[in-house]
Amino acid sequence: MREVESNTVTVGRYLLHRQIARGGMATIHIARLMGDEGFNRIVAAKRLLPEFAEDTEFVAMFMDEARIASKVHHPNVVPVLDLVTTVDEVMLVQEYVHGVPLHVLLRVAHEKNVRFPARIAVAIATQVLSGLHAAHTTFDEMGTPLDIIHRDVSPQNIMIAVDGSARLLDFGVAKATMAAHVTRDNTFKGKLAYSSPEQVRGRPVQQTDVYAISVVLWELLVGARMHGRAKGEAELVATIMTGRIPMIGEVLEGEMSDEERRLVLAADPIVQKGLAVDLEHRWQTAADMEEALSKAVPPATSSEVAAWVRSVGQEFLEGRDKIIAAEEASWRRTQGATQIASRRSGTTLPIANHEPPRPPPALRGHNAIILVLAALVLVLGAGVVFAMHGTPSASATTSPPPPPPTQVAEPAPVPAPPVEEPKPVVAPPEPVAEPAATPQPDPAPVEEPAEPPKAMRDAPPVRRPPMRPAPRVVKPVVKASPPATVPAAASPAVPAPPSVPAKEAEPKADCNPPYYFEGQKKVFKTNCL
């Protein structure tokens, strides 16, 4: 346990705010359940007083009964959420119910001389009976009945919420309370007033809770304490054991309408059966009493109960609202100061509904832009590679016309003949080989003379048609130099037949190659120009 502020204490994961009630064994605080990522929830924390927290046997019973009570699930039962134990603290955590305790409503109604309407009283009693029956029939996870007995049904443990529902508190804690009652005089005198004869003997059963709610209903209908005239604890115990309890009709005082008196008297025999000393004559279950009571007196609706509670308990509700609002404002200021200090120190606090940081709208498409630019770079690179690889391929598959001017070795005024342009890409020439005996060229490249004939050097340059596609050339032509790849020039010693002119022998559409030789002279075909 550590002090956070002068009026705030942290116990485990709970932040305890100011005290809102105090009993004989514990104090009740508005508390805040602190979770991860800024989660918090308002709950009610019941802290054992130091003298009880130091009692090992009492704490053991308290914890055992709290664990059992946590298994009760019903709309008219305030659930037990957690049990916290530290070196010097024992604390029971329950759901916080915004409403007015029944004992406060009884006191305020008595002070204002206001009677509990019979239908309002019956509505509260039937809801408590429904919650009791649910507890009495609770089973554990293995299907074993737990035989839970509340043992402390009283106006202090019944909360009337602002929605008109009656909620029963502190299931299972009463067993420890009664054990402490044996050794502490007058500590639980108020609780003793709602105890049954068998409970006083120390042998409570589930019908004990039916007896206690019957006492509560008697007081709501009459508007006074049932054992208010007892002059001491001995007389109180004697009245309980003997069952000398007056009927409601005998003590009913004050002005009321005929309809109201009729409803009260209709409920009287049902209450008397619930107060029977003999268990055989008492209602056997809480459900039996609830059914009989609902048939005798129609219970008020939840909206009617809520309106009555707000009118009678208005002052109490306003005070409780102010307390919660003040504690909430104080907590928010503390949290804000803590966050500012953490920002100044460079630390980071968990934030509720935390989301990962998102880029500004202008940068949200940054990744898409990068992808588009990368695609453009790839396309441009592919185009460059295609252009680089496409130029040699076109040059190699065409006939031997001259390459672009950038590859010409001679000065611009005297362009080199086409046969000399492939020299930079061809291996050094070898000695001239003997002319082949056959007219067909050898598949291997044919060697050229070191210097072409004078007729070829003096021949004017011929330009290649710009738009005419070049036909594909066989593989040996690609690897050899342009003059050596022409089949007609494979044997320069064999002249063309003189009887048939070369220009007429060649077909008009045969432009592969676009020239022929007359002896050692290259003559270009006019049809191919």
Give the DSSP H/E element, type plus range, for residue 320: helix 314-345
Distances (CA, A) of 53 to 57, 58, 61, 87, 508: 10, 8, 11, 10, 122
Phi-psi region of 223 (alpha: psi -120 to 50; beta: other; left: phi over 0): left
CA–CA dist 133, 287 (Å, integer)? 6
CA–CA dist 99, 268 (Å, integer)? 28
Is 152 known to be catalytic? yes
Give the DSSP H/E element, type plus range, for residue 41: strand 40-48
24: number of CA atoms within 13 Å, CB side? 17
Question: How many angstroms separate the first and last alpha carbons of the chain?
Answer: 107
| Cα angle 280-286-289, degrees, rounded to a multiple of 5 | 75
Phi-psi region of 125 (alpha: psi -120 to 50; beta: other; left: phi over 0): alpha
CA–CA dist 253, 241 (Å, integer)? 26
Beta carbons of 256 and 115 less than 8 angstroms apart: yes
Q: Nearest to residue 305, comparing CAs of 166, 485, 164, 467?
A: 164
Residues in the chain: 529
- Considering the candidates 55, 152, 209, 268, report the single residue annotated as catalytic: 152
DSSP of 107-174, one letter per residue?
Answer: HHHHHTT-PPPHHHHHHHHHHHHHHHHHHHT-B-TTS-B--------SGGGEEEETTS-EEE--TTTH
DSSP classification of residue 74? -
The residues that are catalytic are 152
